[in-house]
Amino acid sequence: MDKKMLIRKAIETLPNSYVPYSHFHVAAALLCKDGTVYTGINIENAAYTPTICAERSAFFRAVNEGKREFDAIAICGGGNGVITDYVSPCGVCRQVMREFCEPETFRIILAKSEDDYKEFMLNQLLPLGFGPENLQ
């Protein structure tokens, strides 16, 4: 699975985003180490706090299916579903990534299109993170 294909999957998933309150659509495509991909969208709620971000949707789908090892995630989004800028994961989603991913190698791809993206390692977006090994 190359980077462009992962980005394409995120962009294709964007219309499924359920955002009647913010109208800010986000989609993610998560690449597992075994080559499978799980997409996710943000799903908002009338009570606001039950809202889940696209990144966590993708992670929780994958983990529910028994996946535990991940290589990369592509993220895209924008107001009214129009991609005008890079969407960067919120702090809670970065922490969920930290649970399952190696901070030095897990790639986070913020995409405006297949050809216009920025790429970071998890440890760049979550320095000095608290992870599972801290509880051992």
Nearest CB to ligand THU, comparing residues 19 and 83: 19
92 binds ligand THU (CB under 6 A): no
| 104 belongs to the catalytic site | no
Select from 5-13, 51-59, 117-125, 126-134 the region that touches ligand THU (CB under 6 A).
51-59
Select from 6-14, 21-29, 96-104, 112-120 the region that touches ligand THU (CB under 6 A).
21-29
Query: Which strand ranges, in their side-by-side order, compose the sheet holding 70-79?
Result: 37-41, 24-32, 70-79, 107-111, 117-121
d(CA 70, CA 31): 6
Select the residue interacting with ligand THU from 3, 24, 63, 121 (CB under 6 A).
24
87 binds ligand THU (CB under 6 A): yes
H or E stretch at 62: helix 54-64
CA-based end-to-end distance of the chain: 34
Structure tokens at 86: 């890079």
Task: Give the phi and the psi of residue 37 in degrees, each rounded to 5.
Answer: -125, 135
> Which of the residues 116 through 135 are near ligand THU (CB under 6 A)?
none
Task: List residues binding ligand THU (CB under 6 A).
Answer: 19, 22, 24, 26, 42, 44, 51, 53-55, 87, 89-90, 93
Catalytic residues: 55
